[in-house]
Structure formats: C-alpha cells, structure tokens
Amino acid sequence: MASDDRRANLQPLSLYVPEPKFRPGDAVDFTSVRLPAAGETRRPDTADKAETFIDLAYELVRVLDEDNQAVGPWNPRLSPDTMRSLLRSMALVRAFDERMFRAQRQGKTSFYMKCTGEEAVAVSAAFALDYEDMCFPSYRQQGLLIARGWSLVDMMNQIYSNKGDRLQGKQLPIMYSVREAGFFSISGNLATQYPQAVGWAMASAAKGDTRISATWCGEGSTAEGDFHSACTFASVYRAPVIFNVVNNQWAISSFSGFAGAESTTFAARAVGYGIAGLRVDGNDALAVYAATAWAAERARTNQGPTLIEHFTYRAEGHSTSDDPGQYRSEGEPNAWPLGDPIKRLKDHLIAIGEWDEERHAAQDKELAEDVKRAQKEAEQNGILGHGLHQPLDTLFDGVFEELPWHLKEQQAQMLAEETASGRPWAHKS
C-alpha cells in the first residue's frame, strides 16, 4: 500500500493556541481557580528530600483564613510588632508607587512600573531573608529595597536619572542598583538574573560563606533559556539559592497560558530538576514569609535550592506604557479570589486586636507625606526634560577599571566636538 493511501485514513493534526478566559467586556468568574483552605497544606522538615514532597508543587501554601486568622503548620507566628512593620513596608511601597506613577504622568520621568497587588512577594521575602543575603530581582521588586530601609530619595534619583543618580543616568528608570543593600542591578533582559544568582550562591558556598542568594522573575520568563540553565546548575551543585517565580497571570499582553500555565503549575518546574518546589498564596504576606524562611533554612543547611511560585495577580498595567484594558477584562483585578495583600494583613491585625482602621488611615497619610517629602528632595537634583544631569565625559565611566587608550581618544574627540559646537556640556573636572 502506498504511503499516501495510509495517510488518507489519518485524522488531520491541529495546533492548540492558548486563549485567556476573559477578554475586554467579558464577565469574570474565577470559581474554577482551585484554592485549598488555609492551613491545609503540609509543611515538611527543611531537611527532607525534595522527592518526598513533590505534591507541594501543586498545592498552595496559605496561612490567613477567611476569618482573618493565621492557621496551620506554615503559620510563622510573627510578633505583632513584626507584622505591623511588614504592613507598614507594604503600605510604603504602594504609596511610593502611586507617587512615582503620577510623576511619570506629569512628564518628570519616562517610565515606571507598579507592583500593586504584589507587595507581599518582595516585602515578606525581605523580612524573611538576612540583610546580608544577595537579591537578584526583576523589575517589580522595589519592595526589597523599601523593606530594607533604603533611601527613597536615592531610589527616586535613579528613577529621574538626575545629578544625584548613583548610576549616572546609564540605566532605565526603576532598574535600581544598590550594592550596599544586597540589591543586584536590575536588567531589562528577562531572566538574566537567574544564572547570576546561582553563580553568586555557588561562589558563596565555595568560599565557605554563610550568605545565600534569592532571585525573582515573572512566570513568562520561565520560558527563557537562562531560567533552565540556572535550574540545572543549581540542581547539580546544590547551590544555596531561592528561585522566586511571580505568577501574576499576565506578561505585557499575553496571559500565563503562553508560558505553560494550562499544562501544570510553575512550581512543577522544580520537579524535573530534582529541587524543592513550593506553590504559595502570593497575596498572603505570612505565607510568603513562611515559605521564604523555610527555603532559606534549606539553603543555609546545604539542602540545596528551592523554587517558590507566588500565585498572585498584577492588579494594574504592566508599566506606564501599557493599557491592560486592551487585552483583559476590567473586572479581573477586583474579582481575583486571593484579595489584596495589604488589606488581608491589616484585617488579620485588626482581628487579633493589634491594629485598627483609624491607625491604618493615619499611617497611610503619614507615609504619603514621607514619600512627598522625598520626592521634593530628589527633584532638587533634576527631572526629565531639564537637560543632561551628568557630565558628558562620565559616559565612558564604569565599564573598565582603567580606560583603554582607544576609548580615551574617542572621549577626547567627543569633548572637542562638543566644545567646537558652542554648546559644550559640563565636564567632571
């Protein structure tokens, strides 16, 4: 029989293309999202082998229940003072975001990215890690710096690329770099920070240090080759690193299904590499803290890496250049079943008699004023549209320890041309 005759009896192949459940104008129904009850997910010992708790890559670690109580084996049992500090840091992140968003709309900077609804992902992690641990963030973890008490003015100087910018205007706004706070330079190239974090962790272990590293990326970035290279090296060498995958349901305009969310969880990526995997309620500040502390203890006791999927939702646009109303239903943010991380922790503190609405409102007002004062101070160093804030010859700084001869020639030529043009920029000297 000819091959053509055999093929005539076969069903034609079809290509599956993921499609989000809700588009602009659609009613939203998240009842299909499976949410285990708070306190239901087991907590293995940090010394247990990864293959003994594969189920946790498919479950959901939750601590705060429907009655605003902290329950179950993952309850970190934080003191009220610590929880109030955690709440304050998350509220400060939101106040900072609101102020900088308005600054961009006023033309004071070219770009900004909020983390509204995702504050717990970074802030709780910062509280659970040691200050000396090295963080390799993506572009929505400004909460790490704020929770570590870093200067808002310094962060704003970097956003404005002004004369106070420690990066001399060489980075995009919001791509902070603060070595003193263990905050590695943010890269706009997705997932590059993953192998960097593994390399740093491997070096720490090779030197017999006690510091670990942690890194973050969005769920879409798990499709990048850097993500998988990092997982391979971390698995083979048992690097003391925490991988955080922030599954906020959307990339810029494509939903998580294009990164594989319809097939399995993102925490399940860990299973194939033989490393520990957890899936966590990313809007539960106590759950994120508990999972990070658990993963940090594994790393410090040479149990190897952990991958944590933070199941959360991007409440607003991808950035100030994005209009989410063009690709998703307007009802999604309010319908998200895991709520708002700030409100949930606030409600818990109120429920246990350690907070109240009046103090919370007063705190919000105080933090808004703090951010406003920081903004005024930063803007004294300049904003977008006020000209070049850095001496022109600093363009060549920060790449080589000693500037090569050919770049010295190019620098001199550039400055000579600027002088000849009659509009020379200021020099360092």
Q: Which residues are catalytic?
A: 314, 318, 327
Contact 329, 22 (CB under 8 A): yes
DSSP single-letter state for residue 37: P
Distance CA 319, CA 255 (A): 15
Q: Rounded to whole angstroms, how far apart are CA atoms 222 and 127?
A: 25
Backbone angles phi, psi at 260, to 5 degrees: 110, 10
Cβ atoms of 35 and 341 closer than 8 Å: no
Separation of CA 120 from chain center: 10
**3-state SS, residue 70:** strand
Q: 3-class SS at 355?
A: coil
Q: Which amino acid is it at 30?
A: F
**Strand order of the sheet with strand 134-136?**
134-136, 213-218, 241-247, 306-311, 276-281
Question: Residue 116 carries which DSSP code?
Answer: T
**β partners of residue 296:** none
Of 351, 389, 321, nearest to 158 (Cα)?
389
Q: How far apart are CA 139 and CA 130, in angstroms?
A: 21
Q: Is the Cβ–Cβ distance between 392 and 426 less than 8 Å? A: yes
Token reading at 350 = 């109120």
What is the bridge-based pairing of β-strands 276-281 and 241-247? Answer: unpaired
- Residue 405, judged by CB atoms within 10 A of its CB (0-12, 13-18, 19+), counts as exposed
Type of residue found at 163: K
